[in-house]
Structure 1
């Protein structure tokens, strides 16, 4: 019975529709915790350090799910116990979540599913913090500009 409760708890975390096991990695608990930790307000790190957090990092997503796992462990008896969230205790759990995310990424690589999910998590976090999403545009250098740059540095390094 205990293992069934753990399975149901984990399913509720990972799936948006846990009963039908649909929409993996879209469980509202994930986005809620992500919002509370990384997107509390306009001054939070995920907003100020956009280059690092957009799209929302896979490593941080695995860590969020590991923290949720720890919270479930605290309540496994029906009463809150004291569990220390430490690298030693939860490294295997973290590694499993990260490996699953890597496998999920490979499975959906053709459609960039994980990348799109990470981008959506970031945009939803911005919305939670009251920040309007502004797409970043970049201007690519022409082939001629890059070729000239290479030629200049070839001369520079050969002198």
Structure 2
């Protein structure tokens, strides 16, 4: 659907209050799944363009109100990718993009149609998300796992052994890799430093990040999002298998294969340990610390950090004995007169 229709007053700005979807919206949902253009409706205004970019379509081609809806829809779409599955097929991508658009419109009480270009803008964020995760994780791998740069053979040999350990049977998912020579086993599964550092960069960088805005999806940090981080980490470890870091070409297919493997492993672990709440505790901790990092929730202040009850009662008693007079002001005046006298004596 093109953006040459008449614009209504409700489409000029996003200032409406959220509302719940009506029955008519539920009936139209099935129709929208059949095409990347929304069905024509007299109640819907059409997304209007203000310019035409050459090449790939961009959100900036549309009016400001449409740009905001696209932005919000992209956030919702990416949050769903992180919380459900990062590599849905094309039909599922389109369905999720349409649902994200309708959700944003409903929250602002706007009846605005979408078109195939808008759906394309939203669904393109899938590849952007995976690339972003890889980029953020890439900056952490070297320090967290201890890879070193150097031309000495001893350094290269150590890097090769480390990369082999990390890739062997989900080794990168352990905090401590152990030592075969001394028969020390690996320990602290899924408690790596990578967990919190990567999640803070990707989903909790500020109060407007997806981990905060979509609280219902991130109350327990999503397992699929954790699998995406582990898949990116494995991809980055592959760059060190020859002893020194070498850029390797990014393959979406190989990335997806690693993602599916880590997702299945996490789901299996969660199923077997669900009664003990092991993984749930890890996921809750990631979200709690992430929200603190985003400065959303203030850290709990213990009662011991405050004045004691006796100290407060003493202040109340002295206040009552002084008939409610604030003695601070008198002291300040005296201090001021004394300092004035001192200055005169100095002169």
**Alpha-carbon deviation of 1:71?**
1.2
C-alpha separation in 1, matches of 2:278 and 2:235:
27
Output aligned runs, 1:9-158, within 5 Å: 9-10=166-167, 13-19=172-178, 20-132=185-297
Change (3 A) 1:128 1:12: farther
Determine which structure has greater relative contact order: mean sequence separation of CA pairs < 8 Å that are 6+ residues apart, divided by chain length. 1
Which residue of the other structure, out of 155, 158, 162, is the alignment partner of 1:5?
162
Contact 1:74–1:80 (8 Å) recurs in 2: yes
TM-score between both structures, scaled by the size of structure 2: 0.35
Superposition deviation, residue 100 in structure 1: 1.0
Which has the larger helix fraction?
Answer: 1
* CA distance 1:7–1:33, change in 2 (3 Å): same
Contact 2:207 2:295 in 1 (8 A): yes
In 2, the alpha carbon distance for the partners of 1:117 and 1:26 equals 7
Q: SS at 1:23's partner residue?
A: strand
The 3-state SS of whatever aligns with 1:132 is coil
Partners of 2:164 and 2:241 within 8 A in 1? no
Structure 2 residue runs of 5 or longer lacking an equivalent are: 1-156, 179-184, 300-347
Residue 13 of structure 1 aligns to a residue in which SS?
helix
Q: Are the aligned partners of 1:62 and 1:98 in contact in 2 as well (CA < 8 Å)?
A: yes
The whole-number CA distance in structure 1 between the counterparts of 2:187 and 2:268 is 17
Q: TM-score normalised to the size of structure 1? A: 0.72
Contact 1:75 1:81 in 2 (8 A): yes
Gaps of 5+ in 1: 135-159
Higher alpha-carbon deviation: 41-50 or 79-88: 79-88
* Secondary structure at 1:108 match in 2: helix
Q: In the TM superposition, what is the alpha-carbon distance from 1:75 to its structure 2 partner?
A: 2.7
Residue 45 to residue 86, structure 1, CA distance change in 2 (3 Å): farther
Aligned residues: 134
Alpha-carbon deviation of 1:50? 0.9
Closer/same/farther in 2, CA of residues 91 and 115 from structure 1, 3 Å limit:
same
Kindly name which structure, 1 or 2, has the bigger radius of gyration based on alpha carbons: 2
How far does the alpha carbon of each residue in 1:47-94 deviate from its partner, in whole angstroms, 9 at most, with x for none?
111112221100011001001111111232233322344431122211
Indicate if the aligned counterparts of 2:160 and 2:241 stay in contact, CA closer than 8 A. no
- What's the C-alpha RMSD, in Å, of the aligned pairs? 2.4
